[in-house]
């Protein structure tokens, strides 16, 4: 569909540098979706990938 001959990836550090021009992510820049190191404890057994949204909106089950 894309007809690409190759695929390349940026490292998380390379992505931060491309976006901000800095070598390291500063405060407020979250890389959790790449690293899995979330800034808050999330129980993934309760709500799956929508666990954080459920916590912040007061919902306790289901998705969007």
The distance of Cα 51 from the centroid of its chain, to the nearest Å, equals 13
Structure pTM? Answer: 0.46
Percentages (nearest 5) of helix, strand, coil residues in the chain: 35, 0, 65
Q: Residue 12 above 70 pLDDT?
A: yes
Please give the Cα distance from 49 to 62 (Å, whole number).
Answer: 10
Per DSSP, helices labelled H in the chain are: 12-20, 32-35, 51-57
pLDDT tens digit sequence for 43-59: 666 656 666 666 655 54
């Amino acid at each position: 569909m894309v007809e690409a001959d190759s695929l390349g990836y940026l490292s998380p550090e390379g992505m931060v540098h491309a976006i901000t021009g800095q070598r390291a992510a500063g405060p407020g820049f979250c890389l959790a979706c790449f690293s899995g190191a979330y800034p808050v404890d999330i129980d993934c057994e309760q709500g799956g990938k929508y666990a954080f949204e459920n916590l912040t909106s007061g919902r306790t089950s289901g998705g969007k």
